[in-house]
Structure formats: structure tokens, C-alpha cells
């Protein structure tokens, strides 16, 4: 059975605003000599390790400054069996108030289509849909109907709520065409540079999707990152307090409650990035998966290459995860659930 990585990125710094990193460092680091010097120094800080924090940041820089999405994809592909499949999630950062983007979302999608054509059995392209883009619905329709893109990625912390009227048009179309939605559901990640952090964080709250899932009951929605690192730690470490207001509840608890109920049958969550704190969180995941309702809705994902700053390599993560939760559960989250989420089980 083929492994599906349902959450990964291959965009490069050419797809990122030029003020994404302050002080002009985004542009400065494009100079190979400077970039080479920085990575060399990071590698030499601790000569007795090749996977300490400095080496990991050095590797992150090398990957993010690759010239093409294909080069990044071939890096992650090398960690997996040759028949593995990858959901590739582009990012539309044009409206996050962080400057100009060298390569816009239309060309980013075009590059992704070309990569899928080169690796048709492995690359599963999604569409980055931002409702502030005037032609978002027509762009989605063209990419689905003309170029066979398989799903839609939204990223509310960039500055919009998931119930935006234009997104409702996208959801209606996605439900009609039987294609899934992937959303960012973590307090971390990229955010709009000019809006208050607490506001953009609230845009990712899983509670925002309850009405959407009721309005579009056949629409498959995946909560990327399963609530995120901070909320997994909150779930594991903080005492229960039923008197606290709902907004203070761990996002992990919110997602688990929705999965256990019969009200949201098409809700999924992937474990990307969150699971890289392996020793702390995989035991909890294993316990969660004892509930059949939850076991049917969890997807394998890594968040490559964002996780290159973490301690685990991709291959080690998947092997250790399989050893920890067992072959049957691993195949369920890495293959069976992914096929249901993507609609491949009906092909």
C-alpha cells in the first residue's frame, strides 16, 4: 500500500514576499556567497553533530533557497518509498502585507502543474485559495477542470476568516466537485504582518468551521496540524477546568470532540509538524487512535520542509511512527484515510 504524505510544501523563497524576513535578509540571503557563508558557519558551530539546531537551520536555508519546486520535491521524495504520494500545498502570500513576491501564485500553480506532469503518480497538487484575490473562484475552477488539481488549501491567519463570502462560493464548488479542503489549524505559522497576532491566530480556531461543515455536510475538511504544538502541550499538561470559557479550550480537545460526534462526519485532521515532538506526543496520538471515530479521520503529514528545523528526519519519523502505533494503524492513517479524504477510494 502506497504511503500518502497529506501535508507538505515545496515553494521556494521566490514565492515568498521580499519583506517576509525583516532587515532585508530575505533579499540578502539570495546571494550565494552570503548564503554559503551563513550555512558554513552554522555547520561549524558544533562539529560533533550533524543534526543539532544549527545544522538543522542550515539545512532549512539550503532547501528554501533551491531554485525550483522540483529540486525541493526531489529532496523529500528521497526519504520515502518510490511509490509514495505527496499532497503539495502552495501558499498565496500576496495579501499578508510583507512586500512583493518575485513569482506570483499563478506561476507557482503552473510550476506545480508541470511537476505533477513529470511525477503523475506521486504529486497531488492543491490550489492556494485566498478570498481577497478577485478571481479566486474562476482560478479554482480552471485549475480543477483544466489541470486536474485535486484539492484546495486555505490559510486564514494570512488575514481572513474561513467563512468569508468568497470562500463560501469555493466550498460550494468543492462540494459539487467532490474535492477536499485543507486548512491551517495551529496557533503557529505564517501570519499577516499588519494585523494583531491574537486576531490572526483566532482565524485558525477549529470552532470557525462548525457552521461551514453544517452548511456543506459533504465537504471534506482537514484541520492541518491537528490544532498545533501549543495546543497539544496544553492538552497534555494543563489541568481540566470545565468553568473556563470555550475560547480557552485546547484546540486538540475541540477537534477530538467534533470527531467523536456524529455531527461532522467529513472532518479530518493531519499530524503534520505537531508530531515531530515525537516522544511527547506520539503516545497521546496512539491513545486517541483507540477510538474508531478518530482513527478513521487522522491523516499522515509531515509539513516538509518547515520541519527541517526539527530534530527528526522524514524517514526516521515515518519508521518510528509505524513502530510505535503498529502496522495496522499506520496503514490506516497513511493510506486508507488519505484515500477517503482525497476521494481515491471511489476511483
Residue 289: other Cβ atoms inside 10 A: 19
More confident residue, 23 or 198: 198
Give the range with max mean pLDDT: 53-62, 223-232, 242-251, 296-305: 223-232
The 10s digit of each residue's pLDDT in 62-83 is: 445 567 899 889 988 888 889 9
pLDDT band at 140 (very low <50, low <70, confident <90, very high): very high
pLDDT for 49 equals: 46
Q: How confident is the model at residue 27 (pLDDT cuts 50, 70, 90)?
A: low
Instruction: Please provide the average confidence, as pLDDT, over all residues in the chain.
Output: 85
Model confidence at 225: pLDDT above 90: yes
**pLDDT over 60 at 190, yes or no:** yes
With bands split at pLDDT 50, 70 and 90, how would you rate the model's confidence at 347? low
Q: What is the mean pLDDT of residues 129-149?
A: 98
Q: Confidence band (pLDDT; 50, 70, 90) for 227?
A: very high
Q: What is the pLDDT of residue 18?
A: 76
Lowest mean pLDDT, pick from 50-54, 123-127, 217-221: 50-54
Q: Within 10 A of 54 (CB to CB), how many other CB atoms are there? A: 16
Q: Identify the pLDDT of residue 72.
A: 87
Which carries the bigger pLDDT value, residue 347 or residue 260? Answer: 260
* All structural domains of the chain: 4-18+69-346 (3.20.20.140)
Span of 11-25, 168-182, 275-289 with lowest mean pLDDT: 11-25
Residues 261-320 have pLDDT tens digits of 989 999 999 999 888 777 788 999 999 999 999 999 999 998 875 544 444 566 677 788
Amino acid at each position: 500500500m502506497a504511503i500518502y504524505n497529506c501535508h507538505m510544501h515545496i515553494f521556494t523563497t521566490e514565492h515568498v514576499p521580499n519583506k517576509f524576513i525583516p532587515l532585508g535578509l530575505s533579499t540578502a540571503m539570495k546571494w550565494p556567497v552570503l548564503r554559503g557563508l551563513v550555512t558554513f558557519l552554522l555547520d561549524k558551530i558544533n562539529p560533533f553533530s550533524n543534526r543539532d539546531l544549527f545544522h538543522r537551520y542550515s539545512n532549512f536555508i539550503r532547501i528554501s533557497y533551491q531554485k525550483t519546486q522540483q529540486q525541493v520535491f526531489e529532496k523529500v521524495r528521497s526519504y520515502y518509498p518510490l511509490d509514495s504520494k505527496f499532497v503539495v500545498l502552495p501558499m498565496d502570500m500576496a495579501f499578508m502585507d510583507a512586500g512583493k513576491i518575485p513569482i506570483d501564485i499563478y506561476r507557482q500553480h503552473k510550476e506545480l502543474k508541470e511537476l505533477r506532469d513529470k511525477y503523475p503518480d506521486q504529486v497531488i497538487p492543491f490550489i492556494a485559495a485566498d478570498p481577497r484575490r478577485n478571481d479566486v473562484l474562476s482560478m479554482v475552477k480552471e485549475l480543477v477542470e483544466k489541470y486536474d488539481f485535486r484539492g484546495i488549501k486555505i490559510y486564514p491567519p494570512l488575514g481572513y476568516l474561513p467563512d468569508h463570502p468568497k470562500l463560501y462560493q469555493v466550498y460550494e464548488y468543492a462540494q459539487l466537485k467532490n474535492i477536499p479542503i485543507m486548512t491551517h489549524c495551529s496557533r503557529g505559522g505564517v501570519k499577516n504582518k499588519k494585523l494583531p497576532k491574537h486576531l490572526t491566530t483566532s482565524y485558525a480556531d477549529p470552532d470557525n468551521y462548525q457552521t461551514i461543515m453544517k452548511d456543506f455536510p459533504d465537504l471534506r475538511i482537514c484541520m492541518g496540524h491537528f490544532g498545533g504544538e501549543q495546543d497539544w502541550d496544553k492538552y497534555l499538561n494543563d489541568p481540566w477546568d470545565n468553568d473556563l470559557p470555550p475560547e480557552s479550550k485546547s484546540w486538540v480537545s475541540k477537534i477530538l470532540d467534533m470527531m467523536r460526534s456524529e455531527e461532522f462526519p467529513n472532518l479530518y485532521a493531519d499530524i503534520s509538524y505537531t508530531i515531530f515532538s515525537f516522544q511527547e506526543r506520539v503516545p497521546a496520538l496512539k491513545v486517541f487512535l483507540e477510538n474508531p471515530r478518530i482513527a478513521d479521520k487522522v491523516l499522515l503529514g509531515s509539513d516538509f520542509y518547515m520541519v527541517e528545523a526539527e530534530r527528526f528526519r522524514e524517514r526516521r519519523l515515518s519508521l518510528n511512527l509505524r513502530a510505535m502505533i503498529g502496522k495496522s494503524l499506520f496503514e490506516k492513517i497513511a493510506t486508507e484515510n488519505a484515500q477517503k479524504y482525497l476521494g481515491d477510494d471511489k476511483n
